[in-house]
Amino acid sequence: MNSFAPRHGPRLNLSPQNTVQSGSSFAIQNGNKVIRNSFVGSQWDDCYGVIYLLTDNNVDGYWEHKMFYVGQTIQGLRIRFRQHINNPNFLLNKALNRFQKTFNIVETGAEQFKTFGGEFSIQIIAKAYSDDELNRLEIQEISNYRSCYLDYFRVDKNGSIVPLYGFNIERGGMQKRVYLSGPFNPTYIDIDANHLRELISLGFTTDEIEEELGVSESTLSKRIKEFWGYDGFNDARKQLGSYELFRKRVNKRRSDSQLEDKQLEELRELLSQGYMLHEITEKLKVSIGTIYNWLEFLGYDNLTEAYDDLDSKGMHRRRENAYRSASRARGTDLPHYIDLDEKTMIALIKKRLSLKQMVAELSKHGINIAENTLGTKIQDLFSYKYSYLTKILFIFPKIDNFLGENHLKSLLQQGVSGPDMVFYYIKLLIATGCSNKEIAKYFSVQSMSYWYRKFAKSYRVLRYEFFYKPRIIQSLREGASTIEDLAEHLPTAAYNKVRNILRHNWGQELSIYGGNIRKLLRFLSRIFKSYPLIEANLNINVQRTIMNKYRSPLDIDFHFICHIMAFDLSKAFIKAKLGYGKKTFQNFVNYLGFSNYSKLRDECYYKVKIIEAIKNGSNSTEDISIYLSRSLPSVRSAIKRIWNKEYFLYSYDSLLKILIKRYK
């Protein structure tokens, strides 16, 4: 098998832009520290959008090498991956269909996903900070990976297009799509227009023309439209004056086949009344293929043409609508409705019989009902499918008894669906430390693999999230600060396993820190230990609000520190609560984007309080001094430092007037 490598390996462009670009806006804090992304419609916090690489990993050796698709998106990567699987282009559709399976998506890292069997994967290869840059990068990466079939393809022996390196059907950049159509398409079938006209003029039937030219009816109809603008064969025959000759040939074939006029008249009558195909086959007691053969004897290529010619299209549509309405009828609306009382159903369910056994039991009492119908009746009566109802009655109470809490009652009151209940109890059992075999035993099955596939998460991933993650958080609250500390606190967790757990649960934060585990642990320690202690001391609750609003660790740290500094906390207090020494605290201040603590204090305390004082009616330095409970010199000095650019241009009194006008 030949190997293929793109012109460069996958790479991630994470360099933030310091300037506001077209179609975008950033809030910048001190140099290149991005505090907030306000791109309209974008789901990315640190950029406008991303360029991603979707890879066919060639696990079955179908291709000569891996195949690629390069795209752009401002949506989440999992959402975009699912969209490609559900609505692929025609090239990607062929690649997906060869596996003949439903694809489940699993997460493999920070913004990295793959299908459950590893057939396809998706990852970010570049980030963009404007619409123009996103288009430019997409064009560039499609060129680098040679993934556009317009530039790299071959035609196989069947005349089908085969892409060489990838599945892109355009060259990127939201440009107008270029199609290989008409004579430029390598699969285009060239037909002699004069020869086709001659065959139609001689009254040849459609199947005779197909056989003569070796081309399908749909292709011939397209050529008729392309050459002369006629709508199909019959229109061409009428326009070329060969329709009567065609009818004679059809009648000759009919007489040869000994088809009776009565049969054709019956078919014509049913068509004129708008009967549907399955109704016609039932009434005439013939196959669908025979009906289409008879249609040709009547001079029609298909049913639609017959309905149009006989002016029965409206009647046909009404019959279709009536049929669909009848097929949607349920319960007592059905003419063959079977009534089963609730007591009978409950008695059967309590016996813990399967649907098949229940049907057999009912048949003994003279009630003949199909399994599907019985399942529908159970769902209508109890609001849950039978498979979930048995779990609600027999399995979930057993798990509640093991856990010592009644979760089922609350779930039923909330109207939680059956699958969500199953997932909820699986999470509970995993959180208590149950093994995969123990969970299967509680659910009375040999394996839980069906449910893991249904939820697109393996047992290992669920254990990382619901068993290890809460214990890591608790360990951090108790003072753990290194991987070694966490490994000691966690049951059966070695050094490398702890790294994998951290990478899975906080992969996005870890990628922002460049994979530095030590920095990630410091951030997590602040989130789960230091900040809650500070909130308890100040009797406030802002961390949850900040974390719901911001996703970047820098944003969370910056806004939390800004909020608590409004309480005029001392440097020593903050250092003590964070558990930092002098050097570590200085590094933290630098990380927030400030050269020293004084500048951080100016930005987060003095500036906020001075603006607040002006908004509350302060019109002079003396008023601001009283509001802040600070001396006049310290207030004047703070105003000069914070608005030093304006102070360079104006006198202090003029600057104060400008600030009052700006913020009041």
Give the DSSP per-residue string, 513-575.
Answer: TTT-HHHHHHHHHIIIIIHHHHHHHHT---HHHHHHH--SHHHHHHHHHHHHHTT---HHHHH
Q: Pull the structure tokens for residue 129.
A: 């900070």
DSSP symbol at 120 = E
Is residue 111 within 8 Å of residue 70, measured between CB atoms? Answer: no
Alpha helices in 169-242 (DSSP H): 193-201, 206-213, 217-228, 232-240
pLDDT score, position 102: 81
Q: What is the pLDDT of residue 12?
A: 40
The alpha carbon of 548 is separated from its chain's Cα centroid by a whole number of angstroms, namely: 21
d(CA 163, CA 150): 8
Residue 504 CB coordination number (10 Å): 19
pLDDT of residue 551: 75
Q: At what angle do helices 342-350 and 371-382 cross, to 10 degrees?
A: 110
Q: Give me the numbers of helices (H) and strands (E) for the chain, helices first please.
A: 39, 9
Question: For position 5, what pLDDT does the model report?
Answer: 47
What's at 8, amino acid-wise? H
Let me know: does 558 contact 592? Beta carbons within 8 Å.
yes
Q: Hey, what are 51's tokens? A: 């360029």
Give the length of the chain: 664
Structure token digits, residue 62 = 């179908």
CA 462 to chain centre: 20
What is the spatial distance between Cα 523 and Cα 531, in angstroms, rounded to a whole number? 10
Q: What distance in Å separates the CA atoms of residue 236 and residue 196, rounded to the nearest whole number?
A: 11
Predicted pLDDT at 338: 65
Both tokens assigned to 564: 């608590």
What is the distance between the alpha carbons of residues 324 and 316, in angstroms, rounded to a whole number?
A: 12
Q: How far is CA 169 from CA 8, 45, 309, in A?
A: 21, 30, 40
The Cα-based distances of 56 to 102, 349, 387, 456, 642 in angstroms read 16, 47, 36, 19, 55
**CA gyration radius for the chain?**
36
CB atoms within 10 A of CB 630: 18
- At residue 178, the pLDDT reads 40
Distant-in-sequence, close-in-space partners of 448: CB < 8 Å, separation ≥ 6: 426, 436, 439, 440, 459
Place of tokens 């007592």: 332
Give the amino acid at 461.
V
Look at residue 460 and give its three-state secondary structure.
helix
Written as six digits, the tokens of 277 are 């195909």
pLDDT confidence of residue 67: 94
**297's tokens:** 């004897």
106: three-class secondary structure by DSSP:
strand
Residue that has been written with the tokens 């559709």 in this structure: 93
For the entire predicted model, the pTM comes to 0.47
Closest by alpha carbon to 193, among 160, 226, 144?
Answer: 226
Which DSSP category does 31 fall into?
T
The tokens describing 427, both together, are: 């999470």
CA 80/CA 73 separation, integer angstroms = 7
Per-residue confidence (pLDDT) for residue 262, from 0 to 100: 77
Please write the tens of the pLDDT for every residue from 443-456: 988 888 888 888 88
Q: Is 272 exposed, middle or buried (0-12, 13-18, 19+ CB in 10 A)?
A: middle
**Residue 490: other Cβ atoms inside 10 A:** 19
Q: Is 112 helix (H, G, I), strand (E, B) or coil?
A: strand
Q: Facing residues of 161 across strands?
A: 155
Please give the Cα distance from 469 to 473 (Å, whole number).
Answer: 6
Contact by Cβ (8 Å): 193, 218: no
Q: Which residues of the chain have pLDDT under 50?
A: 1-41, 175-181, 184
What lies within 8 Å, CB to CB, of 444 at 6+ separation is 395
The pLDDT value given to residue 22: 36
Q: Going by DSSP bridges, is the β-strand pair 33-37/105-109 parallel, antiparallel, or unpaired?
A: unpaired
What pLDDT score was predicted for residue 20?
A: 36
How many Cβ atoms sit within 10 Å of the Cβ of residue 48? 26
Cβ-count burial of 270 within 10 angstroms (0-12 exposed, 13-18 middle, 19+ buried)?
middle
